[in-house]
A and B are shown apart, each in its own frame.
Chain A
Amino acid sequence: GENVEQHPSTLSVQEGDSAVIKCTYSDSASNYFPWYKQELGKRPQLIIDIRSNVGEKKDQRIAVTLNKTAKHFSLHITETQPEDSAVYFCAASMGQAGTALIFGKGTTLSVSS
């Protein structure tokens, strides 16, 4: 079945450094790729998303790149801050209607000051 692989599972950086999280997906029909941030005990919240007709998207310190040929996409966070510490999930659209999401297993990002 379809799956999304996410790496690394944990990432520790110093404040001000950049962080990169990478995901690969298996379903060539996937056309929507969101990234969610989940703080401990809280609900997942969308931080950025990209559609298959776009190669890169940026929003302040966060950027996402997509390579449809290779079926992988990445999240880039620049100038990290302690409040960026959380679990980050990548996801890809899937399912019979093409609107449900399949999630990666998550990356725990720790930013130390």
Chain B
Amino acid sequence: EAGVAQSPRYKIIEKRQSVAFWCNPISGHATLYWYQQILGQGPKLLIQFQNNGVVDDSQLPKDRFSAERLKGVDSTLKIQPAKLEDSAVYLCASSFGDRGEREQFFGPGTRLTVL
């Protein structure tokens, strides 16, 4: 089966600019996650969707980050305006969303550099 797809793979922007990332989860996966992975650290959850509804966005910096999952499939994550500390890899993951099937499958990530 095809894995989680993300684009772009790399992005370099200047601070105060805006940027958007795209994710296409594995077909049939109801749950979609966005994680931020800063160099040398583990992934940190930003937002979790179940179909097209938000389940948990408690760690999303809502003054500058936004995310949507229209039609319950693809998702976009936006940062506006970007800060230097937003430099990280943004990972998208998906799972069936059933507590019987817990494995999260990660995409290749988007490496963001903010100058």
A residues contacting B by CB (< 8 A) are 4, 6, 32, 34, 42-46, 49, 51, 89, 91, 93, 95-106
Once bound together, how far apart are the Cα atoms of A89 and B91, in whole Å?
Answer: 15
Q: Which residue of chain A has its CB nearest to the CB of B42?
A: A103
By a CB distance below 8 angstroms, the chain B residues around A99 are 31, 48, 55, 95, 97, 99, 102
Known: A44-B91, A46-B104, A96-B55. A105 touches B45 (CB 8 A): no
By a CB distance below 8 angstroms, the chain A residues around B97 are 99
Contact B55 A95 (CB under 8 A): yes
Nearest CB of chain B from residue A40's CB, rounded to whole Å: 11
Nearest CB of chain B from residue A104's CB, rounded to whole Å: 5
Contact B45 A32 (CB under 8 A): no
Q: Which of B33, B40, B58 contacts A96 (CB 8 A)?
A: B58
Nearest CB of chain A from residue B59's CB, rounded to whole Å: 9
Q: Which range holds the interface residue count of chain B?
A: 20 to 34
B residues contacting A by CB (< 8 A) are 31, 33, 40-45, 48, 50, 55-56, 58, 91, 95, 97, 99, 102-109
Known: A45-B106, A99-B97. A106 touches B42 (CB 8 A): yes
Q: Which residue of chain B has its CB nearest to the CB of A90?
A: B42
By a CB distance below 8 angstroms, the chain B residues around A104 are 42
Q: Which residue of chain B has its CB nearest to the CB of A9?
A: B40
Nearest CB of chain A from residue B47's CB, rounded to whole Å: 9
Nearest CB of chain A from residue B105's CB, rounded to whole Å: 8
Q: Which of B48, B91, B103 contacts A100 (CB 8 A)?
A: B48
Given contacts A32-B102, A95-B45, A102-B45, 13 further A-B contacts (CB under 8 A): A4-B42, A44-B106, A46-B105, A49-B103, A91-B42, A93-B102, A95-B55, A97-B55, A97-B56, A99-B55, A100-B56, A101-B45, A103-B44
